[in-house]
Each structure stands twice: as structure tokens, then as C-alpha cells.
Structure 1
Amino acid sequence: MKHIVLAATLGAFLTAGTAAAMAAPLVYTPINPSFGGNPLNSSHLMGLASAQRTATAFDAKKDGDGGTDPGTTPGSSDAELFIRQLQGRLLSALASQVTEAIFGENGAPSGEIVFDGTIIKFNKTLSAIELEITDETGTTVISVPRLQIN
């Protein structure tokens, strides 16, 4: 009887030992780069999110009863959308030119850029870059501190 119990116990240990040898630990690997995943996944995940998104900025406009009114979306024609996109690109190109004039390889210590009734004056000092933007609504002064490396 002792031999049967010993053989059964030995068989149980051998079976448990082989099962433990075949098991591997579970390792969680995040997909989303916001949570430590591969940064190359970001554009793919943004594409998936954009494809699933049905709401637009125009849906934020509320009608009288508090709900959205999709029939009254202003500026939703193709021509108006094209004009808005074109204005955005032109303003972006203008901002790039201003940035190049201030910070570029041949950046000037001070200067003035004029376009369509808007005047941008800039002056680089040791501690800041001062911008003065003048248009038909008034003058705005912006002072951006410069990076000081010791």
C-alpha cells in the first residue's frame, strides 16, 4: 500500500513539475503611446478615432431647446470650408515667415513686418523678445522671456 501511495505522490509531483515548466508569465504590453505603448502606433490610433467620430465642431452649436440642430450649421458649404482652410494655411505661412525673421539663421535683432494693415514689430533684448502687434482693433504687446543658460 505504501508503494502505491508513494508512486501516486511521485506521479503527481512529476506532473505538476512539467506543467510549471511549460507556463510563462503574462506580460501586459500597452498599445496606446499615451500609456507607454509604441509611439509609432499614434497615427494609426488617431486614424481609427477619427473614423469613428461622427461629431463635428458645428455640433456644439445648440438650438433653442438645448439639443443640437444639424440643419443650421453655418459655413458648411464646400467653398466656405475651402476658404477657411486657405486662410489657415496663409496665416500659418505668415507666422513661419515672422518666426524665421526673428529666430532664423539670419535673424535680425529687431525689425518690422507689415501685411494688410497689420504691423508686427519685434525687438530682441538680453532677457526677452518683445512683440508689438498693431492692427485696426488696437495694439497688443507680447513679451516672451529668452532662455538663459548658465
Structure 2
Amino acid sequence: MVFKINKMKIKNAITVLGIVLFTTSLMFGQDLVYTPKNPAFGGNYLNYSWLLNSANAQNTYEEPESDLEDLLADFEGDFNQQFLSELRRELLRSSEIFGENGLEVGTFEVGNLVVDIVPGVNGLIVTINDIITGSQTQITVPYD
């Protein structure tokens, strides 16, 4: 049996095979390397603030406010403001501070305020301490 081989087919096959082998030998690649972004998983620590700011910018959750706490805080604030306003009025009417209907010497606790009234050398000393913040205000009302 004699096979007839077409020289052109063999030539084309060898050319295609040569091109395929030549191009595949020139191809090269590199390893895929995963580098995490999050510093909690081994990423760069400099990404922390960027990730946190991105998360905060996307966070739309707001905690529901408690109406009872707001009402109590408002009441306490209003009460303290009213007390301080009354004390200021009494201090501005300095002629009425001293005498029978004047300010009484002693310590008074009103809400989160402690008011201490003591006679001093130059006049009546009124000290107002805020228990929560620790702030203190001292007013000296001179004698007439």
C-alpha cells in the first residue's frame, strides 16, 4: 500500500507546529500573589485609617434615642437653669440678700449642683459646684 502524502500538507503542518512551539516557548508568566489590604489579616498597617474611614462613611445606622432619658435630662437641665436664674436675681438685688429674707448661710444640694453660701471678709461668698463635671464657680457679693 502506497500512501500518497501531499508535500504541501506536510509543509503546512510543520509550519503550524513550529509556530506553536515557538510562541509557547516565548510565553512566560508569573505567580499570582495575594496581598491582603486589611491589617487585621496581615495587610499593611498604614491601610487601617483608610479602611476605618471608609467603613464609617458607609455606616448609616443610627441608634434609636430613648424618649424617657431625654425627658429626664431636659427636666433636670430646665430645673438647674431655673434655680440658677433665681439665684442670679437674688444676687442682683443685693439690698435684699442681707437681712431676714436674704440668702441663708449653709450648703444646699439642687440636682447635680451643690451651692455653698458662707459669709466672708469682703462679703457673702456663694460657691456653686457641679457634681457631674466637677466645675466650680465662686461669686463674692460685697457688703453694702
Q: Which has the larger radius of gyration?
A: 2
User: Normalising by the residue count of structure 2, what TM-score does the alignment of the two structures yield?
Assistant: 0.36
Structure of greater relative contact order (alpha carbons < 8 Å, 6+ residues apart)? 2
